């Protein structure tokens, strides 16, 4: 046996050591959750540096506007409009059917000092291109709806991976205990393919999963009691439920889904006070509501979600 460590052994142990450091960090965060006196009370440890961002808004247009009709100008499409794809290349598309090439329906122009392209669909946004970032390197590995949507939200074509909102919740934490960190505002016309799998926390702690709000007056169904209950009776019920939850969790130690569900129920009780104020847009000026499309029946639901 040689007294020194070989190159391969050194690299192998180094890689395993780094994994151990990451594992220790994850275990320490999860142990804080289950060590809490009340399930779900333990907050994630703060980031190791001060975050530059406090919040993020992701607008995912499922089956929405094409990039070649918005900000990704493709002059070659005009040249080959109405023709089959040149050469013998056959991309792997849905059902293997490759249609004829088609140019954009809208004219493109360059804007700002950066000279970035924008179609005539965005006359106002085009004036702000110097303050925007366009990522043109993103590609999808599937033309099928469900895996492509999963890939857009999580980076993977299979279910079972955290989406961006869950990672942000995990990394930035929450400023309040009365509201969820990750909120989802689905299209009122219907959920995307895969439904709630598009806001799953997957293998991250379940408290980082998205909470779906409604965009109508009933933002969260069944949030309030069906009939008036005096505060004393309400608090007595909450106290009893809390004791039952603690006992149940003690009998199922290490059950993250159970802890996440208990945490969700407890947050729902606190949300009864916080939610009405948060979702009340009556204080917004008529001018601001008009800018968000409140006076257009075709835009009001999407505009309300954005606001």
Of the pLDDT bands very low, low, confident and very high (cuts 50, 70, 90), residue 112 is: very high
Q: Which residue has the tokens 């800018």?
A: 291
Q: Which residue has the tokens 């320490």?
A: 28
Q: What is the pLDDT of residues 219-268, one digit of tens each?
A: 776 666 666 777 788 778 878 877 887 787 777 776 667 676 777 677 76
d(CA 98, CA 77): 15
Whether the model clears a pTM of 0.75, i.e. scores above it, the answer is no
Q: Is 261 exposed, middle or buried (0-12, 13-18, 19+ CB in 10 A)?
A: middle
Tell whether the model's pLDDT for residue 187 goes beyond 80: yes
Q: What is the pLDDT of residues 119-149, one digit of tens each?
A: 999 999 999 999 999 888 888 877 778 888 8
Task: Tell me which of 84-98, 158-172, 275-289 is least confident.
Answer: 84-98
> For 46, phi and psi rounded to 5 degrees?
-65, 160
């Amino acid at each position: 046996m040689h007294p020194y460590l070989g190159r391969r052994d050194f690299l192998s142990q180094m890689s395993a050591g780094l994994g151990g450091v990451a594992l220790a960090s994850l275990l320490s965060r999860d142990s804080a959750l289950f060590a809490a006196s009340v399930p779900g009370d333990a907050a994630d440890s703060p980031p190791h540096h001060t975050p530059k961002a406090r919040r993020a808004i992701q607008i995912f247009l499922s089956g929405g506007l094409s990039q070649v009709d918005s900000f990704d100008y493709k002059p070659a499409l005009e040249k080959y409009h109405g023709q089959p794809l040149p050469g013998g290349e056959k991309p792997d598309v849905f059902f293997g059917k490759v249609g004829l090439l088609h140019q954009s329906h809208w004219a493109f122009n360059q804007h700002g000092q950066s000279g970035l392209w924008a179609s005539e669909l965005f006359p106002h946004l085009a004036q702000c291109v110097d303050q925007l970032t366009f990522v043109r390197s993103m590609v999808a590995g599937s033309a099928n709806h469900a895996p492509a949507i999963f890939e857009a939200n999580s980076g993977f074509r299979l279910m079972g991976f955290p989406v961006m909102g869950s990672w942000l919740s995990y990394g930035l934490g929450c400023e309040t205990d009365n509201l969820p960190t990750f909120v989802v505002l689905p299209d009122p016309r219907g959920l995307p393919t895969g439904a709630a799998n598009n806001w799953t926390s997957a293998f991250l702690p379940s408290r980082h999963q998205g909470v779906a709000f409604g965009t109508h007056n009933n933002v969260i169904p069944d949030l309030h009691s069906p009939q008036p209950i005096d505060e004393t009776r309400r608090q007595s019920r909450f106290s009893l439920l809390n004791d039952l939850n603690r006992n149940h969790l003690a009998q199922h130690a290490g059950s993250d889904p159970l802890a996440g569900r208990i945490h969700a129920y407890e947050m729902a009780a606190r949300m009864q006070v916080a939610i009405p104020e948060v979702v009340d847009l009556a204080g917004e000026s008529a001018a601001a509501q008009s800018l968000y499309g409140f006076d257009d029946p075709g835009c009001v639901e999407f505009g309300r979600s954005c606001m």
